Amino acid sequence: MFSRLRLAFRIARREALRYKGRSALSIALLGIPLLGVSLAATAYDTMVLSDVETTEQRIGEADAFVRFDNEGVPIVQHTWHDRWPWTEPAGPGGEWQGEEVPESEVLAALPSGSTIAPYSVDGVGSGIRVETPDGIGGIQAAGYDLSDPMYESAGLEYLEGEAPRGEQIVISKAAADHLDVGVGDTITTVDDPAEYEVSGIVELPWALNERYAVGAVFEQGAGGWLVDTPETFTYEDALALNELGMSVWSTPLAADPPSEPPVNISMGDSFAMMIYGLIVTVIVVEVVLLAGPAFAISARRRSREFALMSAAGAAPHHVRNTVLAGGLLFGVIAAVIAVTVGILAVWAAIPLMEGLFGHRSSGLQVMPVMQASMAGFAIATGLLSALAAAISASRINVVAALAGRTPQRRTGKRWPIIGLVTVAGSMAAGFTGVTLWSMPLMAAAVIGLQLGLVACTPMLVSLVAKLGRRLPLAPRMALREAGRNRGSTSPAIAAIMGVVAAGVAMSLTVTADNLRHQANNVHELPQGALSLRIGSPESVEDTTDFDQAYEKAAQSLSRHLDDLETRPVTVFSSPSCGDWTDGAPPEGCLLSYELVRPEEHRCSYWSMDREGEEAEAAAVEAARGDPRCDETPHTFGAYSDTPGSTDPVVTAAYSELDGGALDEAVALLESGGILISDEWALTEEGTALIRLNYATEEQEGSRQETRELPAMVVDEGLLGFNQMFLGPAAAAELGLEESQLSRLYLLESSTEATGAVQEAIAAEFEQAGGGDYWVSFEVTDYTNPFSFYVMLVIAILCGVIALGATAVSTGLIIAESKGDMTTLGAVGAEPKVRKRFAMWQTVVIAWLGAGLGTVAGLVGYALIREAMNRNLKHVYPFKVLYGWELPWVNFGVSLLAVPLIAAIGALVFTRGRLPSERRVT
């Protein structure tokens, strides 16, 4: 038994050494995804701190951080692991109101000899404005007395200089870099003009990127206190503070929580295991699809060797073991390299990651169990990757292989049928899984779909090959060769499909996640739009001052923004209801207005009986399947400021309409209509309903009136919370007036509004002085840089792997076609034929792989999306759901860039010289 396995491993090892390039490729294909997992796992364990590590980092050696949750009213603290504990008022009917508790009482509640110091664990103080090298910018400032040693024991470290004395301050390194100051220099505050000498550069390990200054000269800005007790901080100490209404965050209590929350607040273990299981399964499938073809093609090239072994008496299992030994060997090597490189890379990148995460790491943490699992995972993946090739090798036609013939391939219908049935079955399993909320079914669907497509690949290749009839020689041969050598082409296509599918699904998920993030900032203006706002602290009747403020601001702007053009946007608001000194608006005053949907367009949830948990759950369930139920928490609310204009440029900026649609919108606005962003708010008559809320005599609730105005639906991503854009006629119809509190202008300039430009403009505004008016220059930016970098990494990674898989697979196929190339040479074909042949082979493989991968990725994301959204639909209005925003850049990389680069690579790197047969040994 062991002797036979030894033989298999010996052959595998020698084969690996004989064909170093091919071996390196297989190891790379197995190892790169594992390296990604190893990097992610090590980086996660190193950078994502545990509850106890977080506590230690935020409060250092201090015994606890305490703050008022419910000043003066006893509370019950249920959780102890993080800085925002779950607390409730103690006793039945507890109230959230109490009396102010002086600092002395806090000290009195602690053991004798304890000390406290004001501190915040969420940020450093509050914002102030300071002069920057470019103009004026903001930093945080905290008024801690750093002569108290508690701050240093809490983690404050002096990188340079010393503690401040008198009117000195210390600043963070990020602030020092931004303000370009060092120890001994001064910084100048703007709102409360003063100059302060910098006595030191400091670091808080949890706020590396924060720009802040600390000194007794600033307002305290603390959210609570650091506590130092003479003995170990105990649960009893915490209870005493809870009695004052204070929550406690302490390292020993975070490590060993003294009480459990009344309900489980963590994600269920089984659910988490299911998610992890799904991720691991999908990664295994992708890696197998990626690395499998290298083994398949390699096994095909070794078919004569296997036939020879059979002739010498090797049974099928001997041949199988030989191929599997290769998989095992490569798996082990890939695991060792991936884990080692992963750990070393994370170790080297710790400073970089600390900068990205904005906090210090807990030191390199390698998760030995995880790394051991990785090794097992790699070995299993290597074996699985080689499995299909091993089975295929053990079934070779010995006679044909010995004679050097490729057995006649029939266009079997079995695999395409199996493939189509698998694809159909997977789709059904996916939708059933979503309906029944069964993660295994969804996982099976994702995997089955890809395997089904793999099974269909030979049929697709064969079909595509038939398209080549009228093409020139090189593409015709490439297509037919792809069809003829389906055994080699299909695995290569499957490899690219696996990479692209994973990339498409990942990038769709990240894009959708980014959009969900953005959805929390309701959009009003397009990305990158520049605007100027001028505000008044109180209503003004005379707009002359506004005009003067605008003129001054425009002059300041034009000094920094070239080719400046400004366009006023009218802000319509409810007319002033006068002075509410008695706490109530006058009768009949227009308080607010809101867009409402016609009854038939309202979500079914609102009309259902929702008394009791079951009825509520049933209403939420019904809402899940109702397309009208697309409201979010942002949908609701009555607002009092709405932009409006009949200027086509301004209208286009808000609506993103153009051409005939823009003309139509402007005409509508001029004739008394409005633009709306909620498609369900449009009635069948093409109108929208606006509810006007007036103050009533009883001062309870409000009198309501509904007006109906002609309307047009525009991009729902814009128009902000109001979901409306008005023309002057519509505003008049609604009884709205031009705002007497603020002015808004859209700006256009050829200058890029960088951070430095913005700071310079802020300084210019400050210098010019706005009198009673405030003036602000704003750049609309919804982007999330982190998500952008994630997308970039995904696109590059998938592109590189797909490119590698394409190039190598093509190379192996071309090597198989050497006989044909020799024949071509013999009949007088020019060397460039070989280059063109290689190029077209590459294009066929890359396009088919990327096309199928895109389909698989889209379907995979559809299932992931359903699974994710399911979790977000427990209450109505639903949280912002994962939607469909296609990542065109990633599609472009997969479908255009990869085939193009691979084709160019094939042209450049394929040897033009036609080969001659070499001796077979």
Partner 1 sequence: MTVLQMQGVNRVHGEGDNAVHALVNADLSVEAGELVAIMGPSGSGKSTLLNLAGGLDAPTGGDVIVEGTVLATLSKKRLAALRRRHIGYVFQDYNLVPSLTIAENAALPLELDGMSVAKARRIALASLEEVGLDAKLADRFPDEVSGGQAQRTAIARALIGERRLVLADEPTGALDSATGEDVLKLLRRRCDEGAAGLLVTHDARHAGWADRVVFLRDGRIVDSSAPLDEPESLLERAE
- Residue ranges binding partner 1 (CB under 8 A): 1, 3-4, 6-7, 10-11, 14-15, 18, 304-305, 308-318, 398-399, 402-403, 920-921
Query: What does the block give as tokens for 432?
Result: 């059933």
- Using omega within 30 degrees of 0 as the cis cutoff, is the peptide bond preceding 877 cis? yes
Using CA atoms, how far apart are residues 843 and 478, in angstroms rounded to an integer? 9
Please, what is the minimum distance in Å from the beta carbon of residue 320 to partner 1? 12
> Is 77 or 310 the residue whose CB approaches partner 1 more closely?
310
Residue placing its CB nearer to partner 1 in the complex, 265 or 399: 399
Q: Which is nearer to partner 1, 750 or 921 (CB)?
A: 921
**In the complex, least distance from residue 4 CB atom to partner 1, rounded to whole angstroms:** 6
The least CB distance from residue 302 to partner 1, in Å, is 9
Smaller CB distance to partner 1: residue 394 or 910? 394
Is 11 or 379 the residue whose CB approaches partner 1 more closely?
11
Question: Cα dist. 884→137, 513, 852, 864 in Å?
Answer: 38, 10, 19, 12
Nearest to 874 by CA among 611, 603, 623: 623
Residue of 398, 72, 382, 389 lying closest to 242 (CA atoms): 72
CB-side exposure of 31: number of CA atoms within 13 Å?
Answer: 20
Shortest reach from residue 480's CB to partner 1, in Å: 22
Q: CB nearer to partner 1: give 5 or 345.
A: 5
Distance CA 87, CA 76 (A): 5
Cα-based angle 87, 93, 97 (whole degrees, multiple of 5): 65
Minimal distance, residue 459 CB to partner 1, in Å:
24
Cα gap 479→813, rounded to integer Å: 12
Closest CA to 331 of 43, 40, 39, 33: 33
Closer Cβ to partner 1, 16 or 495, answer by number: 16
CB of 912 to partner 1, least distance (A): 27
Of 172, 129, 150, residue with least CA distance to 63: 150
The beta strand positions in 807-905, using DSSP E, are none
For partner 1, give the closer residue by CB, 305 or 656: 305
Local structure of 284: helix, strand or coil = helix
* Least CB distance to partner 1 at residue 392 (A): 15
Q: Is 66 helix (H, G, I), strand (E, B) or coil?
A: strand
Q: Which residue has the tokens 């008559």?
A: 685
Q: How many CA atoms lie within 13 A of 216 on its CB side?
A: 11
> In three state form, how does the secondary structure of 162-220 look?
CCCCCCCEEEEHHHHHHHCCCCCCEEEECCCCEEEEEEEEEECCCCCCCCEEECCCCCC
535: enclosing H helix or E strand: strand 530-535
CB of 378 to partner 1, least distance (A): 23
Q: Name which of 264 and 921 has its Cβ closer to partner 1.
A: 921
Q: Least Å distance between CB 334 and partner 1?
A: 20
Smaller CB distance to partner 1: residue 10 or 874? 10
In the bound state with partner 1, the residue whose beta carbon lies nearer, of 442 and 812, is: 812
Tokens 């600033």 found at: 218
Residues in the chain: 921
User: 318 or 835, CB closer to partner 1?
Assistant: 318
Q: Which amino acid is at 609?
A: D
CA-to-CA separations, 378 to 279, 287, 327, 365, 450, in angstroms, rounded: 15, 9, 10, 20, 21
User: Are the C-beta atoms of 822 and 831 separated by less than 8 Å?
Assistant: no
| Residues 215/146, Cβ–Cβ less than 8 Å | yes
Our CB check for partner 1 shows the closer of 309 and 794 to be 309
**Considering the complex, what minimum distance in angstroms separates the CB of residue 32 from partner 1?**
26
Torsion angle of the four alpha carbons 599, 603, 607, 612, in this order, in degrees rounded to the nearest 10:
-160
Contact of 294 with 390, CB cutoff 8 Å: no
CA distances from 625 to 242, 585, 782 (A): 45, 42, 30
Q: How far is the CB of 402 from partner 1 (least distance, A)?
A: 7
CB of 461 to partner 1, least distance (A): 25
- Nearest Cα neighbor of 645 from 573, 762, 725, 590 is 725
* Residue among 155 and 326 whose Cβ is closer to partner 1: 326
Choice between 312 and 369, CB closer to partner 1: 312
Q: Which backbone phi and psi does 99 adopt, to 5 degrees?
A: -105, 155
Minimum CB–partner distance for residue 20 and partner 1 (Å): 13
Helix H or strand E encompassing 712: strand 703-713
Within 612-727, residue ranges assigned H as helices are 613-624, 648-655, 659-670
CB of 304 to partner 1, least distance (A): 8
The residue (of 263 and 312) whose beta carbon lies closer to partner 1 is 312
Question: Maximum Cα–Cα distance for the chain, whole Å?
Answer: 105
Alpha-carbon distance of 463 to 479, in angstroms, equals 10
DSSP-derived letter for residue 915 is P
Residue 308 CB, nearest approach to partner 1 (Å) = 5
Cα(304)–Cα(313) distance, integer angstroms: 14
- Residue with Cβ nearer partner 1 (12 or 695): 12
Q: Read off φ and ψ for residue 679, nearest 5 degrees.
A: -60, -30
In this complex, which beta carbon is closest to partner 1, that of residue 48 or of residue 315? Answer: 315
What's the closest the beta carbon of residue 813 comes to partner 1, in angstroms? Answer: 21
Cα–Cα distances in angstroms (integers) from residue 446 to residues 116, 361, 408, 431, 449, in the given order:
56, 36, 34, 11, 5
Contacts of 268 (CB under 8 A, 6+ apart): none
CB of 921 to partner 1, least distance (A): 5
Nearest distance from residue 415's CB to partner 1, in Å?
22
